[in-house]
Structure 1
Amino acid sequence: MSPQNPAEKLIIAISSRALFDLRESHLVYEEQGVDAFAAYQIERENDILPRGDAFALVEKFLQINQRLEGAPRVEVILLSRNSADTGLRVFNSIEHYGLGITRAAFCNGESPYRYIAPFGCHLFLSTDGNDVRRALEQGVAAATLIAGGARERGDDVLRFAFDGDAVLFSDEAEQIFKRDGLAAFTTAERASARQPLGGGPFKGFLEALQALQAEFHAESCPIRTALVTARSAPAHERVIRTLRAWNIRIDESIFLGGLPKGEFLRSFGADVFFDDQPNHCASAAEHVATGHVPHGIANAES
């Protein structure tokens, strides 16, 4: 199945360092090299890895299959720079936690991004910014997870939060803001209020996510979405009309007018938040798991 045909299955690809806490073994790799890293992992292949920043997200995502009859509707695929030999510890940990992950690509030091399209992935989460950029270039929604922001929530509802410009939408409006300032941005957005924005890198993922939501009754849906944007009135109208033109429904829309996003994301209970602005990501990561989307004018020189 290709990412453009989400009717069969929604697929997330994740790196081993996003799923599990591999800081200790990665330090061995950085300080002592690949041979020492391999020996370290093999020696500890029966030692269970601690949960990583995306673990709770993956666990909730896979639980969706238990709530729908028939063939599984969601899948998580592991994409790793480990070799299959050193990756045995990762698979042992997956089995220990009871995660239903059966497909993987172990690339022995090479970037695994080239397998994203063949697996038909809609979203790629990694701790490697270069891999994420390459996935975005392939037209796949992708984000670099920032360590330290994961919080476990007591219920089993999976909550995705998205920034607007350069994430769900193109960065055409953000370019005006960066170049000409807030007043010019506001004037341009008011004038273009009825002209839908172009799609950003996460539009396709949101569409696939909504198709999955539609298989549940509204009151029992295990997925909830939120738009959390620095926009405010009057720049809100174009956003609302764009989503309407796309026939996409967002459960909650929060127009902050420049206020910090972290407390609002925590109140929403986001399992992950996606934003293109590095400073917004750093702030949000103090409250929730956060993925930086290195796309658009805010990342042109980073």
Structure 2
Amino acid sequence: VRMVSTVTNTDVKQKDVDQAVVVAVTFAAVFEPETEDGSSIYRFGVALPLVQVLQRVNERLLEKNPAEHQLFDVILITTESWQQQQNSSIINSTRHHGLEVGRFCFSTEEDYIESLMQNNVQLFLTTDGNEALQATQQGVPSALLDTNWVSCPSEQLRVLFCEKAIIQLNMGSTEASKKSAQNFLAHLGQMKQKFGVFDSPLCFTLVTSHGGKDNCCCALKSLRSLGVSVDEAYCLGGAPHGPILSLLRPHFLLSDGFSLLEG
């Protein structure tokens, strides 16, 4: 049976549907498939520090303005049938790890895209390249999380832009996903503008791979036109991404409307 069921997390104050920035993270990114010894609590996976830092950004925004509505609204989404059967364990695991997840969407391989659409998801985070690509093709900006390294716990959300994200589209991106991607970037920019340069819970870095200084300036201008100010910019001039990524350790990379970045 094809179905998408959404469960509201009553432990969490629900966000303003018109102003919140909805980020969906897959169960497989947040948790490992096995539970902790003898319990029904899942061990945490690669995306746990990311979900925690999104909460931290929300806390900082609310400290600045208790009436703030432009907050991250994190939803947890299942994309495999077996996960649907485990909904109480998934909800309990989220509670156990202190994660502020607003809603749980229990869907299958066939209809997780539908649940992204139903919930107006503005950024979909997954460890599965095919899922990221499919969502991007359907106009939902997606970023692939790297399972090779888990970001350390952090007070600051570190986002890395690659110049392709802003200048050209990859094959999987549609006009719709480009527009949605720009919309998401504009939201990030607005959040950052609420803080001073040295006191922001958001840190943005631009890395351009090719084309020298001109390409870098062009990418900076494109970001600026969306209201996004960058903290640091690196022009690699054809050098591999690997070393700079291991130094910067971003929580996620945004490239090509967005979908995939080859590191």
TM class by shorter-chain length? 0.7 to 0.9
The corresponding residue for 1:254 is 234
Q: What are the Cα deviations for residues 3-51 of structure 1, in whole angstroms up to 9, with x where unaligned?
A: xx997211110110011122x58xxxxxxxxxxxxxxx9x96x432222
Give, in whole Å, the separation in 2 of the partners of 1:252 and 1:106.
39
Aligned-residue offset at 1:86 = 1.2
In structure 2, the partner of 1:38 is: none
CA contact (8 A) 2:158 2:204 kept: yes
Distance 1:222 1:111, change over 3 A: same
Q: Which residue of 2 aligns with 1:224?
A: 203
What's the offset of the Cα at 1:223?
A: 0.6
Equivalent residues of 1:60, 1:156 under 8 A apart: yes
Bigger radius of gyration among the two:
1
Aligned-partner Cα distance in 2 for 1:250–1:134: 29
Q: Distance in 2 between matches of 1:240 and 1:51?
A: 36
Which of 18, 23, 33 is residue 29 of structure 2 equivalent to?
18
Deviation at 1:83, TM superposition (A): 5.0
Which consecutive unaligned segments of at least 5 residues does structure 2 have? 1-15, 172-177
**Equivalent-residue separation in structure 1 for 2:220 and 2:100 (angstroms):** 37
Q: Gaps spanning 5+ residues in structure 1: where? A: 26-40, 175-198, 277-291
- Looking at structure 2, the residues matched to 247 and 6 of structure 1 have their Cα atoms a distance apart, in angstroms, of 22
AA at the equivalent of 1:70: A
Q: 1:90 to 1:206 in 2, by over 3 A?
A: same
Pick aligned residue for 1:76 from 60, 74, 77: 74
| Percent identity for Structure 1 against Structure 2 | 25
Deviations 1:56-94 (A, max 9, x none): 011110122222123561111011035543122211110
Give the letter aligned to residue 229 of structure 1: T
2: CA distance, partners of 1:144 / 1:269: 14
Report how far residue 130 of structure 1 moved.
3.2
Q: In 1, Cα distance between the equivalents of 2:74 and 2:112?
A: 15
Q: Report if aligned partners of 2:185, 2:226 keep a CA contact under 8 Å in 1.
A: no
Question: Which amino acid in structure 2 is aligned with residue 293 of structure 1?
Answer: S
Number of residues of Structure 1 aligned to a counterpart in Structure 2: 232
Change (3 A) 1:62 1:8: same
User: Relative to 1, partners in 2 of residues 1:56 and 1:264: Cα closer, same or farther, differing over 3 Å?
Assistant: same
- Provide closer, same or farther for how the CA distance between residues 213 and 6 of structure 1 changes in structure 2, counting only shifts above 3 A: farther
Cα distance change on mapping 1:216 and 1:16 into 2, 3 Å: same
Q: Secondary structure at the match of 1:135?
A: helix
**Residue of structure 1 in register with 2:166 after alignment:** 168
Contact 1:6 1:211 in 2 (8 A): no
Amino acid at match of 2:31: F
Q: 1:56 aligns with which of 39, 49, 60?
A: 49
Residue pairs, 1:46-125, within 5 angstroms? 46-67=39-60, 68=62, 69-70=66-67, 73-80=71-78, 81=80, 82-108=82-108, 110-125=110-125
Using the size of structure 2 for normalisation, the TM-score is: 0.76
Structure 1 counterpart of 2:136, one-letter code: L
Q: In the superposition, relative to structure 1, how do residues 234 and 168 fare at CA in structure 2: closer, same or farther (>3 Å)?
A: closer
Q: Cα deviation per residue 1:93-140 (whole Å; 9 max; x = unaligned)?
A: 100011111301112554312121221211001233333223212322
Residue 63 of structure 1 aligns to which amino acid in structure 2? R
Cα separation, partners in 2 of 1:75 and 1:140, compared to 1, 3 Å: same
User: What is the Cα deviation at residue 144 of structure 1?
Assistant: 2.9
> Aligned in 2, Cα 1:240/1:215: closer, same or farther, shift over 3 Å?
closer
Check 1:244–1:210 CA distance in 2 against 1; reply closer, same or farther (3 A cut): closer
Asked if the contact 1:83–1:109 (Cα under 8 Å) also holds between the matched residues in 2, the reply is: no
Q: How far does the alpha carbon of each residue in 1:222-277 deviate from its partner, in whole angstroms, 9 at most, with x for none?
A: 0111111212234333223333444432222111101122322233342223456x
Question: What TM-score does the superposition give when structure 1 sets the normalisation length?
Answer: 0.67
Q: Over the residues paired in the alignment, what is the CA RMSD in angstroms?
A: 3.1
